[in-house]
Amino acid sequence: MDNIRFVLIVVLSMIIVMLWQAWQQDYGPKPEIAATATEIPAISAVEEDLPEASSTIGSQETVQPAESAEKSSSVPSLEVHADKVITVTTDVYRLEIDTRGGTLRNLDLLQYPVDKDNPEVVVRLFSSSEEKLFLGQNGLLAASGSRAAADHHTVFTADQDNYRMSEELNILRIPLTWTDNKGLQVRKIFVFTRGSYLIEVQQQVINNTGEVWQGRQYSQLLRKPFKDANGNTFIRTYAGGVVYTEEDKYQKISFDDMEDENLNITTKGGWVAMIQHYFAAADIPPADEVNHFYTKKLPDSRYVIGYYSPVNSVQPGSEVTLTTRMFVGPKLQPVMEKIAPGLELTVDYSWLTFIGKPIFWLLNKIHSLVNNWGFAIIGVTLCIKLLFFKLSEASYKSMAKMRKIQPRLKQLQERFADDRQRFNTEMMAMYKKEKVNPLGGCLPILVQIPVFISLYWVLIETVELRQAPFILWIQDLSTKDPFFVLPVLMGITMKIQQSLNPAPIDPVQAKVMKMFPFVFTVFFMFFPSGLVLYWVVNNSLSIIQQWYITKKIEAGEKV
């Protein structure tokens, strides 16, 4: 077994798995929903997307979804009502706040164009369109016996319908107000900070009713399943819900999981989120609070993930401010690490996160020196090559020895063509005599495979590489090479590597192996150019090292 054959088989297996996952995702059978034995009571359009806070957290008071103070006899089923829309513009956002509930919608990320050639059209994360529905909702749940407060269906009033963060402002506040005209007032204030993708939501409950008000705050994300129209057929990343707790850490809650069972977790701190490739929206409760995390499956393929707080009491003549935070933006790891524990894990390196995070750290450090992500990828490739230099050397030595005895193995095969068992016996005897380990070329490379896979995920998931230029014709490392130069170079380097390895003794296998460079060249034509750049540089460095060792071994010199 030779080195290049082993690497090619592993990489081909990865591609086959990715293609199978993509096929299953698009065309595979969908899970059947089991019919329930009892009929589920109908839920009104106002109440169906409210959290069912029927359990208690740190209080004996039972809290039920309060009927909206503004509920009418005929309520539309769509969440976006737009009685009045407030437009907000900061240095990083352009968004709308619906005065019905203070719902965040149509949130554009001003620094992230959809297409590099058309910077005016930017990524929209929250959306009010029925096809791409994605909303940020929050409100209050009144306790049983307390007055109904403002949930995300309640109509607020606003001082103005347009807010813009001017050059001299670092903090922008948007206040909304609601009152039941009987002494209970709620002021909801959205706080935006310059340069930040973190939104603070303050809900001030002012109680002038003459009786104690009790209730919880909640915050949730509602969306339809995300479909990336511009996605790469060969590159599929996770899109769905995630939850982080101190007990179980980072967990994915897919839309299928929400379909099967509601999330029901009580925990201190943590956060919940909806993520997609490069971007995320997360609800982050106060870290010192014990909160309840939940999910709900709603009609029309809508899904909710969120949390609600413990019961809070507001005495007559006093007020209480309940605060939550929302992160809505690109998955920038250095930024997210400072916001909440584990939030940077939304940059999903799969089960190899413990390797992927150090690789990203190295990539980021090199970029800070060279200020070019393409050269940073080359730098990381060099560092990884140096790290495994001795392992590669051992592998190439073994391959050089195998190459040296290849003519004699061929003679053995011809001599014992009709006696396979005798051929195997003589071959193992030759390996022992020449001190050749047939697995010597594979085992060292086996150790390196987790690092290669981790680097693959780092380059796929890193938003900083999105639309990042390299040099000349490569102006976006996250998309395929427009002229296919890098894939062709990768195929050439793979062919050169093959020539440095012993050819398989089996002629059929030898012909199949000769096809691999061409097959992989076609595959890599559709891969992000940042990934192909890594393979070209890695192959080139391997060729230099292997050529040197092979020449020394064949010349009978000690390496």
* Token pair listed for 327: 């992160």
pLDDT in tens, 486-495: 999 999 998 8
pLDDT in tens, 249-291: 999 999 999 999 999 999 999 999 999 999 999 999 999 999 9
Q: Do 502 and 402 meet the contact criterion of CB atoms below 8 Å apart? A: yes
* DSSP sequence for 184-247: EEEEEEEEEETT--EEEEEEEEEE-SSS-EEEEEEEEEEEPPP--TT--TT-----EEEEEETT
Average pLDDT, the chain: 81
Tens of pLDDT, residue by residue over 286-327, are 999 999 999 999 999 999 999 999 999 999 999 999 999 999
Position 442, amino acid: C
Ranges 72-86, 201-215, 451-465: which has the least confidence:
72-86
The structure's pTM equals 0.79
- Least confident segment among 230-234, 369-373, 480-484: 230-234
The pLDDT tens digits of the residues spanning 511-554 come to 777 788 888 888 888 888 988 999 899 889 888 877 877 676 66
Question: Is the per-residue pLDDT at 212 higher than 90?
Answer: yes
SS3 (DSSP) at 15: helix
> What domains, with CATH codes, occur in the chain?
31-65+82-228+236-348 (2.70.98.90), 357-554 (no CATH)
Residues 6+ apart with CB under 8 A from 455: 356, 359, 380, 384, 534
Q: Which two tokens stand for residue 206?
A: 């002012």
Span 133-178, pLDDT tens digits: 999 999 999 988 888 999 999 999 999 999 999 988 999 999 999 9
Q: Compute the C-alpha angle 499/505/508, nearest 5°.
A: 90
Give dist(CA 527, CA 525) in Å, integer.
6
Query: C-alpha 446: how far from its chain's center?
Result: 27
**Among candidate residues 14, 10, 9, 12, the one with its CA nearest the CA of residue 457:** 14
pLDDT confidence bin for 437, thresholds 50/70/90: low
3-state secondary structure of 540: helix
Q: Partners of 219 in the beta sheet?
A: 138, 307
Q: Is the distance from CB of 349 to CB of 363 less than 8 angstroms?
A: no
